[in-house]
Amino acid sequence: MTPLLPMTPLLEVRDLAITFAPAARVVDGVDFRIMPGEVLGLVGESGSGKSVTLRALLRLLHGARVEGHVLWKGRDVLAMPDAELRAMRGRGMAAVFQEPTAALNPVLPIGLQIDESLAAHTDLSGAARRRRAIELLGEVGIADAARRLGAYPHELSGGQRQRAMIAIALAAGPELLLADEPTTALDVTIQDQILALLLRLVADRHMGLLLVTHDLGVVAETCDRMVVLYAGRVAEAGSVADLLRQPRHAYTDALLRSMPGEGEARTRLSPIPGMAPKLGRPLDACAFVPRCSYASPECSAHRPPMVAVEPRRLSACIAWNRLPARVAA
């Protein structure tokens, strides 16, 4: 492999559209890119299309039409032959899912579930794979790893299961880890440990990380840049620090207001009024209009274009320059 040019993204998603039969467009024109070693947050509420997007990147969706381009180092995943796709899955991009209880096979020991990844992607002998599996379990912080190889998922705690799933995902040495709400199913104390673990692994291995979450707090702690999804479209994208300080999309603004902040005791939270829109045909308007306090007639007239409002800052909001800055903490 030739070394990558510094500006070549690991993954570039262009105009991704996902439609479930008969006419439910759940992702509509999503673009983003991830550089080597970068941590990107994909943020949105339930139904915003963030998890579906993650699964589309690995071609894991059942019964969905996926259009657009998912470029892994310039190769389109959506058009890859099966053999190339298999080699890319796990070793190029690997995934960690939300529910380790569901994602781990309940009837196979953890050791085997690591081993089969190693067997699929490396030439290691059985004994070498066993040693590697023990190292991996140790690396994700599972104590007494050698004995844990024979454990079944139900014999581990929730946090250990999530660690085991991360170890499985890391087995083939992926360059990009896709993590779908990796902490949502866990206790708060365990959540922090898992996030710290992911960040340490990203730094140690110079791995990219795509973190799909609904939790802005998690994004603020872990990500370099973020992409905010609303109703299957990118609302805005930019660096986490900029975005939290000065939202450039009315949805992000509303999302930040609905969150409890630091040092703001007794201030009222303002939930976003209304409900996320139903799935259906793509709207020729901003999808956030019914719930937006900045909406103008122009917002309903056509779909707002994605505009570079600042260097490295994109927004699809007509009111982007009328939004207030957040009070600095």
Partner 1 sequence: MNRAGAIVGRIAQIIPTFFLIGVVVFVLARLLPGDAVSAMLGDRATDEAVRRITHQLGLDRSMVAQFLTFIGQAAQGHFGQSLAFRVPVASLISERLPVTLLLTLMATLIAMCMALPLAFVAAMNANRWPDILIRAVFQVGLSSPVFYVGLVLLTVFAAGLRLFPVGGYGEGLPAHLYHLFLPALTLALSFSAVIMRTLRGSILAVLRAEFVDFARAKGLSARVILLRHVLRSAAITTVTLVGLHIGSLLGGAVITESVFAVPGVGRLMVDSIFSRDYPVIQALTLVLAVLVSLTFLATDLLHGWLDPRAGV
CA contacts within 13 A on the Cβ side of 98: 12
Name which position in 2, 21, 46, 62 contacts partner 1 (CB under 8 A).
Answer: 62
Rule CB under 8 A: say whether 327 interacts with partner 1.
no
Q: How far is CA 174 from CA 3, 87, 158, 221, 268, in A?
A: 16, 11, 24, 23, 44
- What's the closest the beta carbon of residue 117 comes to partner 1, in angstroms? 5
- What's the closest the beta carbon of residue 236 comes to partner 1, in angstroms? 29
d(CA 43, CA 213): 5
- What's the closest the beta carbon of residue 85 comes to partner 1, in angstroms? 8
CB closer to partner 1 out of 114 and 299: 114
Candidates 52-60, 156-164, 285-293, 300-308; binding stretch for partner 1 (CB under 8 A):
52-60
Candidates 53-61, 73-81, 259-267, 296-304; binding stretch for partner 1 (CB under 8 A):
53-61
Give the contact letters, 139-178, x = binds to partner 1 (CB under 8 A), - = no: -------------x-x----------x--xx-xx------
CB closer to partner 1 out of 44 and 100: 100
The whole-angstrom distance between residue 298's C-alpha and the CA centroid of its chain comes to 32
Rule CB under 8 A: say whether 86 interacts with partner 1.
yes
Rule CB under 8 A: say whether 308 interacts with partner 1.
no
CB closer to partner 1 out of 87 and 309: 87
Give the contact letters, 171-210, x = binds to partner 1 (CB under 8 A), - = no: xx--------------------------------------
- What's the closest the beta carbon of residue 58 comes to partner 1, in angstroms? 5
Which residue, among 151, 205, 158, has the nearest Cα to 183 in the 3D structure?
158
Count of chain residues binding partner 1 (CB under 8 A) = 32
Give the contact letters, 104-143, x = binds to partner 1 (CB under 8 A), - = no: xxxxx-------xx--xx----------------------
What is the three-state SS of the chain?
CCCCCCCCCCEEEEEEEEEECCCEEEEEEEEEEECCCCEEEEECCCCCCHHHHHHHHCCCCCCEEEEEEEEECCEEHHHCCHHHHHHHECCCEEEECCCHHHHCCCCCCHHHHHHHHHHHHCCCCHHHHHHHHHHHHHHCCCCCHHHHCCCCHHHCCHHHHHHHHHHHHHCCCCCEEEEECCCCCCCHHHHHHHHHHHHHHHHHHCCEEEEEECCHHHHHHHCCEEEEEECCEEEEEEEHHHHHHCCCCHHHHHHHHCCCCCCCCCCCCCCCCCCCCCCECCCCCCCCHHHCCCCCHHHHHCCCCCEEEECCEEECCCCHHHCCCCCCC
Instruction: Kindly state the tokens that stand for 275.
Output: 């409900």
Name which position in 102, 146, 203, 327 contacts partner 1 (CB under 8 A).
Answer: 102
Rule CB under 8 A: say whether 317 interacts with partner 1.
no
Rule CB under 8 A: say whether 97 interacts with partner 1.
yes
CB closer to partner 1 out of 68 and 90: 90
CB closer to partner 1 out of 106 and 311: 106
Name which position in 25, 55, 148, 163 contacts partner 1 (CB under 8 A).
Answer: 55
Residues in touch with partner 1 (CB under 8 A): 55, 58, 60, 62, 86-91, 94-95, 97, 99, 102-108, 116-117, 120-121, 152, 154, 165, 168-169, 171-172
